[in-house]
Structure 1
Amino acid sequence: MASVAEALNLALDHHLSGRLEEARLLYGRILEVDPDNPHALHFAGLLAAQTGAVADGVAMIGKAAALLPLTADIHGNLGKALMALGTPDGAARAAAAFRNLLALQPEGAGDWFALGGALTEAGDGPAAHRALTRALTASAATDSEPLAEAFERAGLRLYAAADWAGATDAFRKARSLAPQRAGAHRMLGAALAQTGDPEGAVAALGEALRLDPTLADAQTNLVHLLVTLGRFDEAERAGRRAVALDPGNPDAYGNMVPLLEQTVRVAEALRQCGRASRIAPERAAFHRNRLSLLLHEGRRDEAVAAGREAIRLAPADADAHLALAVALLASGQLREGWEEFEWRWETRQLDPVHRGFPQPQWTGAEDVAGRTILLYAEQGLGDTLQFVRYAPLLAARGARVIVGCSPALVRLMERVDGVSAAVAWGDELPAFDLHIPMMSLPRAFGTDLDSVPAAVPYLRADPADVAAWRARLPAAEGRPRVGLVWAGSPRTVRGVASPIDRRRSLPLAALAPLAEVPGVRFVSLQMGPGAAQLAEAPAGMDIADPMAGVRDFADTAALASTLDLVITVDTSVCHLAGGLGRPTWTLSRADACWRWLGNQEKNPWYPTMRVFGQDRSGDWSGVVARLRAALTDFVAAHGHVS
């Protein structure tokens, strides 16, 4: 009778020659005689896996690996058999087997490649990425196409896990290994967009489309990125191609909406949003976008309804809640609006200003008497100027009030009634017991339209500064002095002005009709790039520019206090002048900020303010005509023609 070793050699010969049934029977007889023979277990397990009995094969090879733990091939074959199970658990166990293999022979590029594949299927994108990188460095001769595909699959895992940096690196490696893979370029573009690199994303998507012009999703994603970069003509062409490539893709229409909104084609944007919603009525984002467009058109009740539908579809969507908050506040439903507005902290846009204080936040319910409370700025300068009005109310309850704000506001905040101290961000804060962000104060006080704390002035300039600024200005000679601000802060992102700033600002030249009103001495309060337009001020406009001497908002407040009227676009100066109780005329875009309540002429926040709202987005002519008529009446009532 043949020995076990001879029988095993014969069985292996049958196996390698394709006589699989003979091999299976002989392996079985060997294991009947010697059930713990590791070699018979190994080869019989391979045959079982090869012929479809994968689970049996895994069991036998696993037993062989336990008996011969220092045999690398057994661990490798166990990993392959476990991968053949086609389950995440099998892939995780395969990764363990490949790690055992690599502990014995760590330089095998193919083994690192196998580990990377197993980890990808097990859902561990970061570890897969590391393993594939080892495969790449272990051997320059590694077949580039399979490795590129493996990197791409690992990148998809990383992308799904929101590991944008890891995904970007994986897709870059896939692209380098196989530059002809359009999918690698496409996903690299998607990952770069998430890392905040729209230029790189556009380049990658462009290359993907060069390799495969039929990639509809790449074309669709390109639209959004080109809009972000302000390349509107290219975005429009990309959008048309996206619709042509895949007319059933709701995003092909939805991604056109920001483009159309920013180029003030609101009616067309609503139509595109409607198309997207009809294709995918369950997508909350489309209803959220529709809300913004409806506010553009002054259809506030419909905007609120769109916001409620978005939240019904996605109750945890913070952006939807914030959009509904804006619609509610704009329609005057302040109490509910403030509640929804708290969702702003769940969005990414306030991450840079979120303060993780260990002290509790004041909600309005806690007694503040004898306690120190920090009110802190969170968004724009204008928001701080508007909501610091609550400081005297807290002081009246017995609180010691500290304000944390921009350095440009510190001197002015120190003069607000009830404020004990103002601290610039970056400086050391004094001890405090409670804190509250400025824009949560209305919620804490239960503010509605009938209870807006509107006593003005609550901002006060230093009398000595007012006197100094009055002395600096040219003599009024009995004519009213009128301050002018025609542009907001550009807030550029990669050289592109923010959409809201483009809509709220106008060129100084557009105010030329005001120069025709006799008896006015204009004073520029304009800061930033817009001030350069003074070099080409409208003919006949008598305008002084003292802003080079302005150090901060305390100076601007003193300067504004010397004026009879302030005419300004919707920027921080309108809140400053309104808070000072100065006559203020605010020029508001058609899609007005929520606080102007749909451009009602009278505003509950500022009793000395008059709002001049656009009738149509982008058209300031009607506003300027009304301003000219109002200014003529103002001069008649407050001054004389020189």
Structure 2
Amino acid sequence: MQNDNQLVELGKYYLSINQIDLAWNILKEVAASSPNNSLAYELLAQIAFLKGDEMMAYKLLSQACNTEGCSSEALYCLGQNYLASKKFSDAIEIFERSIAKNGEYFEVLHDLGTCYANQGILIKAIEFYNKALEIKNDVPELFFNLGRMEDELKNYSEAINHYGKAISLKADYAEAWSHKGLAFHELERYEEALSAFDAALNLTPNYSEALNFKAVTLSEMRRYTEALTCLDKAIIANPSFSDALWNKATTQLVLGNFEEGWKNYEFRWAKSKSQPYKYPEIPQLPTNETQRGRRILVWAEQGYGDTLQFSRYIHLLLEQGAQVIFEVQKPLLNLLRNNIQCQVVEKYDPTIEVDYQVPLLTLPHIFKTTLDSIPPIYPNINLTGGHLGRLGKFLLSTNNKINIGISCSGNPEHLNDRNRSMPLINFLPLLDISNLYLIQKGVSNDDLKCLDTHTEIKYLGNELIDFEDSAAIINSMDLIISVDTSLAHLAGILKKKLFLLLPFSPEWRWMSEGSTSPWYPSTKIFRQNKRGDWGTVIDQIMAELITQNQCE
């Protein structure tokens, strides 16, 4: 043992005078005779790093860390390698061993926070970042990381504070400026968001992420032309930037540029937080080919409303002579199975051979849809018996008021739900001239209180099993009034008279202006002229209904 220690010291000496080959040979001899000599392995790893052989270096470092005598520095270095390799659980274990040997220190606490952040354990990440902050409070990247965590938790004001501290320590921190702008955007403080993005772009003019974020904010402000200019700059800076290409698609579509919009809409599969692309093992449906005799799997994507809106394209494939298997969400199964002349399934059976597959919202691109060539709604929806018999008991027919089916909110997980949904209380003025029926499954706590207070609004959500039930109720109404949810799409394909309520910045399918929809001829659109102002929209609807009553 004494001889080994002397040899290790000799190896360290030769390493210090840059005689690395001689040091290597001496230390290899020690490692061979004393496999538990951690210092020999650590020094060998250091030499391997100097030689540029990182694989060998980390192998030796791992051997060093398998011994009890390894140093906290060796453990931290190995943990950094696990972190870089995205082996987060292994990194956490090694970092904790390093702390056990040498106590808490800034670097290991910071990296533990990063490990937990990458695992999505945000509270734990913040805990370790804050511990690191107690040791050293002048590191801008630490404040930036804390800002990112608060962003993920939707604590946007806290995030802005952290980004501000990062910038105060590093004035040219373009990434912090950009994310500060994004936090302002989430708080709907759009002018402040634009100022932050501009600060980032003044520092880094070709910063594609900041250009993309700025474009999203400009779109929310309905400044679409400026948004497209930013997106074009982002794409020039980074031609493979899928998020910018996706945002360009939705901006083009909202402006009616379908030809380019549908093409760029295909980038939805590559953008961040994208849905998984199903059935990649099946060839994709080609363009510019007749499909006679081909068996094609069409699978629904996104929400129920998308499936209803674009189900009309199935008929175009059938007209070409294709055999179609249409995979749809379970609540839509009965409605579409009873009305579309193809095989409608909840889950495709892979034992059934098909020639091609295609996601539903790719069909407008394949058929080169323009504003002038949107397919008509097809087929006409016929409902099976029994639904009205079961649900008709809820309908009032003894007074002189019209029956209006309403929907005030949709899926709370929808990215724009806070803008597209509105409180039920806004519908109360309509009670003077109509019977109101709330036709939706989920109801917020505030809307439940409104229903408890105003029992004259009949809630039918508990009676809805699937979309056939919703369709039967819609058919029985005189009018449907809905925010942008699947109920609006269902009323649209049923060709029912629909008043659609849209937020200031609408989803692309409703276009940027106008009171009619090229997708649903029976629809009249009422748009917010001011962000969040549903009261004026309801006033417009009241005036419309009073005028109609006077004309009848």
Equivalent in 414, 433, 437 of residue 337 of structure 2: 414
- Using the TM superposition, give the Cα deviation of residue 556 of structure 1 relative to its aligned residue in structure 2, in angstroms: 0.7
Q: In the alignment, is residue 318 of structure 1 matched against residue 318 of structure 2? A: no
Aligned to 2:532: 618
Q: In the alignment, is residue 331 of structure 1 matched against residue 259 of structure 2? A: no
Native 8 Å contact 1:79 1:93 kept in 2 = no
Secondary structure at the counterpart of residue 370 of structure 1:
coil
Counterpart AA for 2:248: L
Equivalent in 354, 359, 363 of residue 437 of structure 1: 359
> For structure 1, which segment, 299-308 or 424-433, has the greater mean C-alpha deviation from structure 2 after superposition?
424-433
Closer, same or farther: CA 575–243 of 1 in aligned 2, 3 Å: same
Equivalent in 142, 151, 166 of residue 218 of structure 1: 142
Aligned to 1:530: 444
Measure the CA separation in 1 of the matches of 2:116 and 2:354.
Answer: 42
Counterpart AA for 1:452: I
Secondary structure at the counterpart of residue 385 of structure 1:
helix
* Correspondences of 1:295-306 after superposition (within 5 Å): 295-306=219-230
Native 8 Å contact 2:48 2:57 kept in 1 = no
Aligned to 1:103: none
Counterpart AA for 1:203: E
- Using the TM superposition, give the Cα deviation of residue 479 of structure 1 relative to its aligned residue in structure 2, in angstroms: 3.1
Any idea what the Cα deviations from partners look like across 1:202-241, whole Å, max 9, x if unmatched? 2222222233222322222222322322334433433433
Measure the CA separation in 1 of the matches of 2:113 and 2:9.
Answer: 46
Aligned to 1:280: 204
Structure of greater Rg: 1
Closer, same or farther: CA 61–176 of 1 in aligned 2, 3 Å: closer
Aligned to 2:421: 505
Aligned to 1:363: 286
Equivalent in 531, 546, 550 of residue 464 of structure 2: 550
Aligned to 1:266: 190
Measure the CA separation in 1 of the matches of 2:45 and 2:163.
Answer: 46
| Paired residues, number | 547
Counterpart AA for 2:210: F
Aligned to 2:395: 473
Native 8 Å contact 2:423 2:446 kept in 1 = no
Any idea what the Cα deviations from partners look like across 1:49-102, whole Å, max 9, x if unmatched? 4533435x268659x96xx99545999869836734753534545567xxxxxx
Aligned to 1:4: none
Any idea what the Cα deviations from partners look like across 1:359-399, whole Å, max 9, x if unmatched? 21113334321222111112111111111110111111111
Counterpart AA for 2:507: C
Any idea what the Cα deviations from partners look like across 1:145-194, whole Å, max 9, x if unmatched? x42x4344334333333444444444444455555312222222223222
- Using the TM superposition, give the Cα deviation of residue 286 of structure 1 relative to its aligned residue in structure 2, in angstroms: 0.6
Measure the CA separation in 1 of the matches of 2:123 and 2:548.
Answer: 50
Native 8 Å contact 1:46 1:77 kept in 2 = no
Secondary structure at the counterpart of residue 476 of structure 2:
coil
* Correspondences of 1:364-403 after superposition (within 5 Å): 364-403=287-326
Secondary structure at the counterpart of residue 404 of structure 2:
strand
Aligned to 1:609: 523
Aligned to 1:254: 178
Closer, same or farther: CA 318–47 of 1 in aligned 2, 3 Å: same
Equivalent in 501, 504, 507 of residue 587 of structure 1: 501
Closer, same or farther: CA 166–367 of 1 in aligned 2, 3 Å: farther
Counterpart AA for 2:227: A
Q: In the alignment, is residue 629 of structure 1 matched against residue 543 of structure 2? A: yes
- Using the TM superposition, give the Cα deviation of residue 454 of structure 1 relative to its aligned residue in structure 2, in angstroms: 3.2
Measure the CA separation in 1 of the matches of 2:527 and 2:100.
Answer: 54
- Using the TM superposition, give the Cα deviation of residue 283 of structure 1 relative to its aligned residue in structure 2, in angstroms: 2.0
Measure the CA separation in 1 of the matches of 2:103 and 2:452.
Answer: 56
Q: Which runs of 5+ in 2 are unaligned?
A: none
Q: In the alignment, is residue 598 of structure 1 matched against residue 508 of structure 2? A: no
Counterpart AA for 2:317: L
> Percent of pairs identical after alignment?
25
Secondary structure at the counterpart of residue 499 of structure 2:
strand
Counterpart AA for 1:450: D
Aligned to 2:482: 568
- Using the TM superposition, give the Cα deviation of residue 314 of structure 1 relative to its aligned residue in structure 2, in angstroms: 1.5
Q: In the alignment, is residue 484 of structure 1 matched against residue 484 of structure 2? A: no
Counterpart AA for 1:632: I
Native 8 Å contact 2:327 2:344 kept in 1 = yes
Native 8 Å contact 1:515 1:538 kept in 2 = no
Native 8 Å contact 1:80 1:94 kept in 2 = no
Native 8 Å contact 1:354 1:378 kept in 2 = no
- Using the TM superposition, give the Cα deviation of residue 411 of structure 1 relative to its aligned residue in structure 2, in angstroms: 0.6
Measure the CA separation in 1 of the matches of 2:481 and 2:259.
Answer: 31
Aligned to 1:52: 18
Measure the CA separation in 2 of the matches of 1:426 and 1:194.
Answer: 34
Any idea what the Cα deviations from partners look like across 1:472-508, whole Å, max 9, x if unmatched? 42226453211111112112xxxxxx65211211111
Secondary structure at the counterpart of residue 566 of structure 1:
strand
Equivalent in 368, 393, 402 of residue 446 of structure 1: 368
Native 8 Å contact 2:335 2:467 kept in 1 = yes
Closer, same or farther: CA 428–75 of 1 in aligned 2, 3 Å: closer
Native 8 Å contact 2:295 2:354 kept in 1 = yes
Native 8 Å contact 2:138 2:169 kept in 1 = yes
Measure the CA separation in 1 of the matches of 2:508 and 2:401.
Answer: 35
Counterpart AA for 1:528: G
Native 8 Å contact 1:83 1:91 kept in 2 = no
Aligned to 1:123: none
- Using the TM superposition, give the Cα deviation of residue 623 of structure 1 relative to its aligned residue in structure 2, in angstroms: 2.0
Q: Which runs of 5+ in 1 are unaligned?
A: 1-11, 17-38, 97-114, 117-127, 492-497
Any idea what the Cα deviations from partners look like across 1:492-551, whole Å, max 9, x if unmatched? xxxxxx6521121111112333334x2x11111122133872542498784222221110
> For structure 1, which segment, 189-198 or 260-269, has the greater mean C-alpha deviation from structure 2 after superposition?
189-198
Closer, same or farther: CA 354–92 of 1 in aligned 2, 3 Å: closer
- Using the TM superposition, give the Cα deviation of residue 440 of structure 1 relative to its aligned residue in structure 2, in angstroms: 0.9
Normalization by structure 2: what TM-score?
0.88
Closer, same or farther: CA 176–581 of 1 in aligned 2, 3 Å: farther
Measure the CA separation in 2 of the matches of 1:163 and 1:70.
Answer: 29
Native 8 Å contact 2:501 2:537 kept in 1 = yes
Secondary structure at the counterpart of residue 444 of structure 2:
helix
- Using the TM superposition, give the Cα deviation of residue 288 of structure 1 relative to its aligned residue in structure 2, in angstroms: 0.9
* Correspondences of 1:22-421 after superposition (within 5 Å): 49-55=15-21, 57=22, 71-72=33-34, 80=43, 83-84=46-47, 86-87=49-50, 89-93=52-56, 115-116=60-61, 128=62, 131=63, 134-135=65-66, 138-139=67-68, 142=69, 146-147=71-72, 149-351=73-275, 353-418=276-341, 420-421=342-343
Closer, same or farther: CA 175–333 of 1 in aligned 2, 3 Å: farther
Aligned to 1:515: 431
Secondary structure at the counterpart of residue 196 of structure 1:
coil
Native 8 Å contact 1:473 1:546 kept in 2 = no
- Using the TM superposition, give the Cα deviation of residue 289 of structure 1 relative to its aligned residue in structure 2, in angstroms: 0.5
Closer, same or farther: CA 50–230 of 1 in aligned 2, 3 Å: closer
Native 8 Å contact 2:219 2:505 kept in 1 = yes
Closer, same or farther: CA 224–616 of 1 in aligned 2, 3 Å: farther
Measure the CA separation in 2 of the matches of 1:336 and 1:90.
Answer: 49
Secondary structure at the counterpart of residue 561 of structure 1:
helix
Native 8 Å contact 1:54 1:85 kept in 2 = no
Secondary structure at the counterpart of residue 436 of structure 2:
strand
Counterpart AA for 1:502: R
Closer, same or farther: CA 69–244 of 1 in aligned 2, 3 Å: closer
